Amino acid sequence: MTDILNKTEEIVTKAKKLGADEVVAKTTIGKYRQVRFSNNQVDITVAWDDYVTDVALAWKKRVVATQIHDFKDIDASIKQLLGLAKVSAENPMFGGFANGKFRYPKSNADSKLEDLDSPTELVSEAISAAKKEIGPKIDSGGILFTKFEDVYLVSSEGPVGFDSRSAIELSIRAFAEQEASGHGVECSSTLKGFKPARAGTKAGEIAKLARNPKTGDDGAYDVIFDPLILGSSLGVWGGMVSAFNVMIQMSVFVDKIGKKVAPEIVTLKDNPAAYSMSNRVFDDEGVPTKENVFIDKGVLKTYLHNASTAKMFKTKTTGNAGLVAPNPWNIEMEAGDMSKDELFGEVKKGLYLTNTWYTRFQNYAKGDFSTIPRDGIFLVEKGEIKKSLKDLRVSDNALTMLGNIAAISKERQHVHWWAEADPPSLSPYVLIKNVHMTKSK
């Protein structure tokens, strides 16, 4: 550990000696494993062993970055990077990397995930659970992914830190018929907290209910969003509070700090807490991460910042620095006061959507977009699932939908799926009124 930290520090020291004003170096030694399966069988098992040092340096407000994959290349890489800075162009808005000395809490990374070399049995558990729901005609596929990273960070501006980050996730899609499917996910930072059967059961339950779907009608509906599909919306709203996205107008939240953007029941936070797949004790500038409430009881409180964007917005970094721009780590929607069943009971006639993909915007600043629900889509009447539907699209507005949240469940689930429900989130069931659905004609 000390050796890697010393080598990371050497990069910073050498860059400073060569004339860099500010330098941050972060070395990640990663061990990643994945099992991909389909048709209820393993297709491929994959291992990636990787190490990389991300280096960002500033010279007279010129910001350049590189990745070093071999410590033998330090001298040449740093010289080249500084050379690049010297012929680069000034960014007058650059406000510097974060400075200060920080103490970080000890990482809770699970070393069992470092040693988990053959996780195929966990996949079998999920498939078996889905099979219990659907029966022998099940067709299922998905991935199991594990991560264990040791991260060493040194900044010329003070921060020095070590973090271990572990995660495990399973995503399973189960089919009861060609057009009747359900999707379940299970995510955790520890093996102990990981229950693959839960994901299988959920996928199976939805698939079973989704049998014999009929094409739905377009129109405006009250819609219950399952935690998985809400995870996609949380990713959209969370991404749009990144100060960088606000600056390039890829956000509905431009000039809305202090304004009401949602009803009072809505509180959204970014929180890379210990349970989260994206748990971390510091950001990419070495600033301790923390819980940041960005929508508090419906009012937009802050954007997510690194040190430089914080300076531009005359505020403090929120500990969300990525290599170039600030990002959310793990979004949480505060739990509501209704049970899931009570929330369903609020719906006289509406829809229950379980998953979506392919979210695309016409205009990020206005928020007009569409997304295509997949897996179970259900007609709900008087709180009960009445019918399985298919071939409907949500065609609405991101800000309007945030404003139309009418109820939030007590139950929440930690979800993450591919690039569609990303970053990870702690997501409840949510009722959104007057959601516009369209279909092919």
The interface with another protein within residues 116-175 (CB under 8 A) comprises 117-118, 120, 139-143, 171-173, 175
Taking each helix axis from N to C terminus, what angle separates 120-134 and 196-209, rounded to the nearest 10 degrees? 30
Pairing of strands 299-300, 349-363: unpaired
Lookup result for tokens 């659907």: 134
How many angstroms separate the Cα of 121 from the Cα of each of 219, 237, 254, 347, 364?
Answer: 45, 36, 47, 40, 43
* 363 lies in the binding site for another protein (CB under 8 A): yes
For another protein, the closer of residues 28 and 276 by Cβ is: 28
* 212 lies in the binding site for another protein (CB under 8 A): no
In the structure, how many helices (H) and strands (E) does the chain have? 10, 18
In angstroms, what is the minimal distance from the CB of 89 to another protein? 4
* 179 lies in the binding site for another protein (CB under 8 A): yes
- 85: its two tokens: 């800075």
With contacts defined by CB under 8 A, how many residues of the chain interact with another protein?
84
For another protein, the closer of residues 126 and 281 by Cβ is: 126
Pairing of strands 219-225, 349-363: parallel
In angstroms, what is the minimal distance from the CB of 336 to another protein? 29
For another protein, the closer of residues 43 and 341 by Cβ is: 43
Question: ∠ at Cα 87 (82, 88), nearest 5°?
Answer: 90
x/- site string to another protein, residues 67 to 106, per CB under 8 A?
A: xxxx------x--xx--xx-xxxxxxx-------------
In angstroms, what is the minimal distance from the CB of 124 to another protein? 9
Residues in region 228-247 near another protein by CB under 8 A? 247
In angstroms, what is the minimal distance from the CB of 111 to another protein? 19
In angstroms, what is the minimal distance from the CB of 229 to another protein? 14
Instruction: Spell out the SS3 assignment of 115-145.
Output: HCCCCHHHHHHHHHHHHHHHCCCCEEEEEEE
Contacts (Cβ under 8 Å, ≥6 apart) of 304: 238, 241, 242, 243, 270, 292, 294, 318, 320, 326, 327, 328
Q: Are 141 and 38 in contact (CB under 8 A)?
A: yes
For another protein, the closer of residues 140 and 166 by Cβ is: 140
* 248 lies in the binding site for another protein (CB under 8 A): yes
* 412 lies in the binding site for another protein (CB under 8 A): no
Question: Site for another protein (CB under 8 A): which residue of 255, 258, 314, 419?
Answer: 419
- 296: its two tokens: 């508090």
* 250 lies in the binding site for another protein (CB under 8 A): yes
Q: Are 166 and 33 in contact (CB under 8 A)?
A: no
For another protein, the closer of residues 130 and 266 by Cβ is: 130
Q: Are 308 and 314 in contact (CB under 8 A)?
A: no
| Amino acid identity at 376 | G
Residues in region 10-49 near another protein by CB under 8 A? 34, 36, 38-39, 41-49
Residues in region 183-202 near another protein by CB under 8 A? 183
* 220 lies in the binding site for another protein (CB under 8 A): no
Question: Site for another protein (CB under 8 A): which residue of 211, 366, 382, 386?
Answer: 366
Distance of CA 335 to the CA centre of its chain: 18
Query: Using CB under 8 A, which of the segments 17-25, 264-272, 282-290, 371-379 binds another protein?
Result: 371-379
Q: Looking at the DSSP assignment, which residues form a beta bridge with residue 374?
A: 355
Residues in region 258-297 near another protein by CB under 8 A? none
- 76: its two tokens: 């040449």
In angstroms, what is the minimal distance from the CB of 265 to another protein? 29
